[in-house]
A and B are shown apart, each in its own frame.
Chain A
Amino acid sequence: MSDQLLTVNNLSVAFQSGSITTKAVNGVSFSLNKQESIGIVGESGSGKSVTATSILRLIPRSFAKITSGEIIFQGRDLIKLSAGQMRKVRGNDISMIFQDPSTSLNPVFTVGNQLVETIRAHRKISKKAAKQRALELLDLVGIPAPDKRITMYPHEFSGGMRQRVMIAIALACDPQLLIADEPTTALDVTVQAQILNLMKDLQEQLGMAIIMITHDLGVVWETCEQVLVMYAGRIVESATVKELYQRPLHPYTWGLLDSQITESQDSDAPLSSIPGSPPDLSYEVTGCPFVERCPYAEAICHQETPPLQQLADGHAVACHFQTGSNTLERKEHAYREGTFTRS
């Protein structure tokens, strides 16, 4: 209990559209210690963002619903909190930054206004004191001349500066946990590195935990200790970052790693990709959700869904052939086009 900050147990989220139910997140469990950072990786539609936004209960009420599970944060199940109690958690204990800072800041209010309102939503302090705190925060996230910047509107900032403002807003009330939903995707590559470094520095300085949602394994490598690989609404592999790079086990993770560009790569060689597309989650998936794209699939994979199995060293994987005595031989370039024909 002492070190544990967040435990997600068997979380499932469904989207309802007419008579069609889409199981966006299906039985996801993980836990996070204080000051730890965990990465959730996966392709678009894998359920990583939905998982993270469900923690703050920010999924659209009109069509999305948490169908099962619990989200224990500091001993309380967030799913059972009233709307008022939940509001006190948001922005105070857990805060969030979003993918595109140019759309997540309100264009018609100054950045100072948006900082001050967040501080005053959770702290009973005067406007003047809140403004002072806002100036400190802008300084903390590396915005030069905060006293001038504080009266400016978001459109007067560059993309990187806007994301710094978003981070300042997220940190306004010293949260225990920061959820970052693809925080660098909308930024220039050079700015991406600055923002990631800033987040790492601030984490060390302020001692918060981070959930980093990304499709970029490089980002996870730079910022996280733990990593969850999600596919079709499920966790298919979970390990420390180091372990995942040294000994990846799930064929999907292999595919992701193969798709990365390496320095030694011949610049003329085609980029490797995983053929096919994820299953449509509005239908019941039988067997392993990855089976249609897996070069190692066998008969059992079509019939039974492999559970996420803990291995001895804290590594977990959901594959029929990577548990116990079974092990798969990872083939070189298994996903290169032509080398893999569907069974």
Chain B
Amino acid sequence: MRTFLLKRSLQLIPTLFVVAVIVFFITRMLPGNPAAVMLGPQASAEDIAAYAERLGLNDPIYQQFFDYLINLVKFDFGNSLSYNQPIVNLIMERFPNTVILAVSALLIAIIVGVPAGILAAKKQNTIIDYLVTTLSLVGVSMPIFWLGVMLVLAFSVNLGWLPSTGMGSLDNGLWAFIRHLILPSLALATIPTAQFARVIRSSMLETLSNDYIKAARSKGLKETFVIYKHALKNALTPLLTVIGLQFSNLLGGAVLTETIFSWPGMGLLIVNAIDKRDFVVVQGSVIFIAIIYVVINLIVDVLYKVVNPKVNLDGGSGGAN
């Protein structure tokens, strides 16, 4: 286990290096002069040139790149051009908001998607199964921007039940906070819910055809026990994989959802930064998201071991066979 964690931590270095390189050059390819964008249309040519000089935009690209790498090694992600404060502060301000949204969407997806998938597998080829399969196909294919707008139209504009944008402050009470959270987390949960249902359904169907399920029934165990203990634990591995992937996705900031609902998270931060050509913010946020991805993947790998004792994290074959 320790070897495994050490090995994986070392793997983080090349991953982050590659991400840093790619994001640097992609942001440099964005059209438009950041100095001009930031100073606005009224700025004079001299002002823009002076500002660009101050930001170091006139240095040769390789020099900018090396300065950037050296700062990264020193864990200095730089100052935002538009907000004029350290990136780290910006991320620390926005990331918790994204976590709130991501966790509530993930919880909805697990609470709704997993039982639906299990039920569909249990009742294979019945109307319940067809319903779950059809709905989950619709769910994974749903365009979020459309669904988000429709939710706003229905629940905010027509019914007037829920606020359409922004995030509620806890100072105004828990209900105000939750009211603001409902629509964005529903929109964000749609795809993961459908995906979890599909994955757990097929994985349960495969597990239920195993001999040990027949053996468990032959021992006189209750059917719920057979399904939720014997089958489910075996069916969890593929589910863990998609939960991990989805969660890192959600933590990376749901760009569309946060934009539609003006949710002040990582996604909105990045979109605004791109708009303003604030590439320091884009670089810092993308590297941060990459770290989150790697950490979540690591946690998922450790969980595989918890679910399946045959998994050997340190490499080599797993026991006698």
Chain A bound to chain B: yes
List residues of A whose CB falls within 8 A of some B CB: 56, 58, 62, 83, 87-92, 95-96, 98, 100, 103-109, 117-118, 121-122, 153, 155-158, 166, 169, 172
Q: Are B222 and A87 in contact, CB atoms less than 8 angstroms apart?
A: yes
List residues of B whose CB falls within 8 A of some A CB: 124-125, 210-212, 214-223, 225, 229-230, 233-234, 307-310, 318-321
Which of chain B's residues have a CB closer than 8 A to the CB of A158?
Answer: 320
- Bound state CA distance, A155 and B309, in angstroms? 9
- Bound state CA distance, A157 and B216, in angstroms? 19
Tell which of B125, B212, B229, B309 touches A104, judged by Cβ atoms closer than 8 Å. Answer: B212
Q: Are B218 and A90 in contact, CB atoms less than 8 angstroms apart?
A: yes
Which of chain B's residues have a CB closer than 8 A to the CB of A62?
Answer: 124-125
Which of chain B's residues have a CB closer than 8 A to the CB of A121?
Answer: 219-222, 225
- Bound state CA distance, A56 and B217, in angstroms? 9
Tell which of A56, A96, A106 touches B230, judged by Cβ atoms closer than 8 Å. Answer: A106
Closest A residue, CB atoms, query B237:
A108
What are some 10 contacts across the A-B interface (CB < 8 A)?
A56-B218, A83-B223, A89-B220, A96-B215, A103-B212, A107-B309, A107-B310, A109-B229, A155-B310, A155-B318
Closest B residue, CB atoms, query A157:
B320
Q: A106-B230, A108-B309 are in contact. Are A58 and B210 (CB under 8 A)?
A: no
Tell which of B218, B220, B222, B319 touches A156, judged by Cβ atoms closer than 8 Å. Answer: B319
- Bound state CA distance, A58 and B234, in angstroms? 21
- Bound state CA distance, A121 and B221, in angstroms? 6
- Bound state CA distance, A107 and B215, in angstroms? 12
The list of the 7 closest CB pairs from A to B, nearest first, reads: A91-B220, A90-B220, A91-B219, A103-B211, A104-B215, A106-B212, A96-B218
- Bound state CA distance, A72 and B87, in angstroms? 78
Q: Are B219 and A107 in contact, CB atoms less than 8 angstroms apart?
A: no
- Bound state CA distance, A113 and B220, in angstroms? 15
Q: Are B211 and A100 in contact, CB atoms less than 8 angstroms apart?
A: yes
- Bound state CA distance, A166 and B215, in angstroms? 9
- Bound state CA distance, A108 and B225, in angstroms? 15
Which of chain A's residues have a CB closer than 8 A to the CB of B217?
Answer: 58, 90
Which of chain A's residues have a CB closer than 8 A to the CB of B222?
Answer: 87, 121
Which of chain B's residues have a CB closer than 8 A to the CB of A156?
Answer: 319-320
